[in-house]
Amino acid sequence: MLFLRQTATIALKDLRSEFRTKESLNAAISFAVVILVLFSFAVDPTADQIREISGGLLWLVFAFAGALILNRSFARELGNDCLDALVASPVPGAALFLGKASANYVLLLIVELVSLPIFGVLYNMRWTRQPLMLAAVLALATWAVTVIGTVFSALTVNLRLRELMLPTLIYPMMIPALMAAMRLTTLLIAGEGIAADDWIWVRLLIGFDVIFTSLAVTLVEVVLVG
Amino acid sequence: MRERILYALGAIAGLWLARNLYVILLGLPDEAAQGAIYRILFFHVPGWITCFTAFLLAGISSILYLIKSDPRYDTFAVATVEVGIAFTVIGLVTGSIWARIIWGIWWTWDPRLTWALITCIIYMGYLMLRRAIDEPTTRAKNAAVLCIFSFASVVITYKAIDWWRTQHPGAVLSFRTGGGSIDPLMESMLFQNAAALLLLAAVLVAVRMRQEEIGREVESLRRHAHAI
């Protein structure tokens, strides 16, 4: 119970601090919109083509914009040695990690929920044909992106080339989750539903979430404290 | 003495590989369906066996480092990862040459190929991370965590031919299929070459570990000199 309260305290602290300045959120949302707009110049697709690549396009946008939020997650604690204070506080590393991951999760979901209608308008696409399943896929895949991003954000926080290293490390690591999310999102936006063959992707997402969350929670103490 | 043993083992590995090459090129007949190009698989499959072994050992060594904080485990991990990457590149290049002859293309985005490439990129990220951290203990600790995460991609690459049945040929070795899909003579040659490559990799790891140890000594002497 105490662990949950500590996790919630960290998450709320991060969210409060982010909502006061909105520096990551504004940057991530603007970046997502810019990529969505730029993409329309890269190709001139028909409605069918857009439907086929919608999952890939959206998840690239989410992953790129997400890196901006994830990068700031631990880096914002560097000023005034706040990270040292957090590590020295009686909060266990796992609670600190889960709190930060939860805050990042909420922020990433906000970016996604803002990007989706913009995608729908710009590319003339109805994306609400399977709302519940789409929400479930977003929830699972966003957690996958968040958990990998947050643990690597902790790993790279003290590096000189932090902004460069984080994306280089997290994108290859996220590929299983992104692949599954892209495939499922494309199906759901096309309104097709998930066929029996495609449930393997849902299982892959769940497996990815469980395995990497457990690994991250186990190892984060080492990363933060040593 | 240690150097002499290493040189001797390296020479044995070299001679063994030369003998294997002789048998592969002149002793074994052409394969019925593929012709002469199948011979590259005697290096392709053992190359992957060697790199998977190296990454597995690096993962185990990283776990041991986190438990015991002994820098020798970190040295072993970085040496095995570097050698593992070299063999990953051998696997990718030999596979690509084979694909050019059999499929008519150098590369295709088949799951097994894609995962192999991702594994290579992930472990290159491991080496990049090491370069980016100056403080030895932080470097070893963070690299160990990354190495454990990275091993997931090795497992996926290994299982990719079972999970996605696409362009890359399925498993042929009898310990995975139960036998019958490869000529015993060819399989025995494949394992012999794998053993020779593993020996070569072990020698390279030992040489690389020595370099790391010397590097660490130099680093500590430099710190000492600065302190004075």
Judging contacts by C-beta atoms under 8 Å, the chain B residues touching residue A161 are 132
Contact A159 B132 (CB under 8 A): yes
Predicted confidence at residue B94, as pLDDT, reads: 93
CB contact under 8 Å between A175 and B118, yes or no, is yes
Q: What is the pLDDT of residue B179?
A: 67
CA pair distance A202, A188, nearest whole angstrom: 12
- With CA atoms as reference, the chain B residue closest to A165 would be B129
Of A172, A200, A215, the CB nearest to B125: A172
Average pLDDT of the residues in A179-203? 88
pLDDT (tens digit per residue) in A149-182: 999 999 998 888 888 889 999 999 999 899 999 9
pLDDT value, residue B227: 86
In a domain, B173, yes or no: no
Nearest CA in chain B to A148: B149
Contacts with B146 from chain A: Cβ below 8 Å: 155, 169
Q: How far is A97 from chain B (nearest CA, A)?
A: 15
- Contact (Cβ atoms closer than 8 angstroms) between residue B120 and residue B88: yes
Q: Spell out which chain B residues touch chain A, with contact meaning CB-CB distance below 8 angstroms.
A: 66, 118, 121-122, 125, 128-129, 132-133, 137-138, 141-142, 144-146, 148-150, 152-153, 156, 163
Give the DSSP per-residue string, B6-27. Answer: HHHHHHHHHHHHHHHHHIIIII
Residue B175 resides in a domain: no
Does A226 have pLDDT greater than 70? no
Mean pLDDT of chain A, nearest integer: 90
The answer to whether residue B176 sits within a structural domain is: no
Q: For residue A11, what pLDDT is reported?
A: 95
Please state, in angstroms and rounded to a whole number, the distance separating the CA atoms of residues B125 and B146. Answer: 9
Structural domain harbouring A202? 2-224
Phi and psi for B22 in degrees, rounded to 5?
A: -60, -50
Q: Is any Cβ of chain B less than 8 angstroms from the Cβ of A172?
A: yes
pLDDT of residue B127: 93
| Chain-chain contact of B125 with A168 (C-beta, under 8 angstroms) | yes
Structurally, chain B folds into a number of domains equal to: 1
DSSP state of A193: -
Range B201-214 average pLDDT: 93
> What's the residue count for chain B?
228
- Closest of A125, A129, A110 to residue A26, by C-alpha: A110
Which residues of chain B are within 8 Å of residue A200 when distances are taken between CB atoms?
163
Alpha-carbon distance B201 to B45, whole Å? 15
- Of A188-197, B28-37, B68-77, B108-117, the least confident: B28-37
Q: Of A66-70, A80-84, B157-161, B204-208, where does mean pLDDT reach its minimum?
A: B157-161
Contact: A168, B128; criterion CB under 8 Å = yes
Q: What is the pLDDT of residue A158?
A: 84
Q: What is the mean pLDDT of residues A112-123?
A: 92
Rounded-to-integer distance, Cα A156 and Cα A189, Å = 35
- Does a structural domain hold residue B11? yes
* CATH code, domain with B139: 1.20.120
Residue of A nearest to B163 (CA): A200
A206 vs A137: CA distance, rounded Å: 10
Q: A179, A53 in Cβ contact below 8 A?
A: no
Q: Quick check: A219 and B66 CB within 8 A?
A: yes
Cβ of residue A128 closer than 8 Å to a chain B Cβ: no
- pLDDT(B182) > 80: no
Counting Cβ atoms within 10 Å, is residue B129 exposed (0-12), middle (13-18) or buried (19+)?
buried
Could you give the ipTM of this predicted complex? Answer: 0.83
A220 Cα to chain B: minimum distance (Å): 9
C-alpha Rg value of chain B to the nearest Å? 20
Residue keyed to tokens 């790199």: B51
Determine whether the interchain pair B129/A223 forms a contact, defined as Cβ–Cβ distance below 8 Å: no
Q: How many domains does chain A have?
A: 1
CB contact under 8 A, B138 and A159: no
Q: Compare all CA atoms of chain B with the CA of A170 and give the residue at the minimum distance.
A: B122
Residue of A nearest to B145 (CA): A219
CA-CA distance, A95 to B189, in Å (whole number)? Answer: 53
E strand or H helix that includes residue B182: none
Q: Which residue from A82, A73, A74 is spatially nearest to A28, judged by alpha carbons?
A: A73
Residues of A within 8 A of B122 (CB-CB) are 172-173
Closest CA to B207 of B13, B45, B69, B42: B13
Kindly state the percentage of chain B with pLDDT values over 70.
96
Q: Which residue has the tokens 């439907």?
A: A51
**Direct distance between the N- and C-terminal alpha carbons of chain A, in angstroms, rounded to an integer:** 26
Which residues, in sequence order, are CB contacts of A133 under 8 Å at separation 6+?
Answer: A184, A188, A193, A194
Judged by CB atoms closer than 8 Å, whether chains meet at A212 and B118 is answered as no
Distance between CA B169 and CA B99 in Å, rounded? 11
How far is A19 from chain B, CA to nearest CA, in Å?
Answer: 31
Contact between B91 and B123 (Cβ < 8 Å): no
pLDDT band at B120 (very low <50, low <70, confident <90, very high): very high
Burial (CB count <10 Å: 0-12, 13-18, 19+), residue B116:
buried
For residues B107 and B100, give the distance between their C-alpha atoms in angstroms, rounded to a whole number: 8
Under the banding of pLDDT at 50, 70 and 90, the label for residue A191 is confident
Which residue from B66, B122, B141 is facing A173, i.e. has the nearest CB?
B122
pLDDT of residue B203 exceeding 70: yes
For B124, phi and psi rounded to 5 degrees?
Answer: -65, -35
The residue ranges of DSSP E strands in chain B, in sequence order, are none
Asked if residue B111 is part of any domain, the answer here is yes
Q: How far apart are CA A102 and CA A123, in angstroms?
A: 31
Burial profile B33-49: b = 16 or more Cβ within 10 angstroms, e = fewer: eeeeebbbbbbbbbbbb
Confidence of residue A39 (pLDDT cuts 50, 70, 90): confident
**B172 found inside a domain:** no
Q: Which contiguous run of DSSP H or E holds residue B183?
A: none
Q: Which two tokens stand for residue B89?
A: 């590149």
Lowest model confidence (mean pLDDT) among A21-30, A119-128, A212-221: A119-128
Residues B122 and B148: beta-carbon distance below 8 Å: no
Is B61 domain-assigned? Answer: yes
Q: What is the mean pLDDT of residues A52-78?
A: 91
Percent of chain A with pLDDT over 90: 57
The residues that bridge with B35 in the sheet, in sequence order, are B31
Place of tokens 């939860």: A102
